Amino acid sequence: MGAAFFGSRYLINDPWQYRLPAAYGPYRWIRYYDDVLLVDVRNGYVVDVIHDFFW
């Protein structure tokens, strides 16, 4: 995952608002089209995916 997706436009700052589990440490929830990805921001690896979350 590219660093451009770690900006405020894609980052979900309040996962509780969307009823997502909290993301701890280097992990962040990112909106990617209609999906939500849990990403390790240190290396860009996708740890988890929830498909069609924003459908």
Tens digit of pLDDT for each residue in 11-54?
999 999 999 999 999 999 999 999 999 999 899 899 999 999 99
What is the residue range of 26's domain? 3-50
Q: In terms of pTM, does the model score above 0.75? A: yes
Q: How many domains does the chain have?
A: 1
Residue at 16 is within a domain: yes
Residue with tokens 């451009």: 4
Residue 26 neighbours by CB distance under 10 Å = 12
- Whether 55 is covered by a domain: the verdict is no
Q: Which helix (H) or strand (E) holds 49?
A: strand 45-50
What whole-number distance in Å separates Cα of residue 19 and Cα of residue 41?
Answer: 21
Residue 10 domain-assigned?
A: yes
Structure confidence at residue 55 as a pLDDT band (50, 70, 90): confident
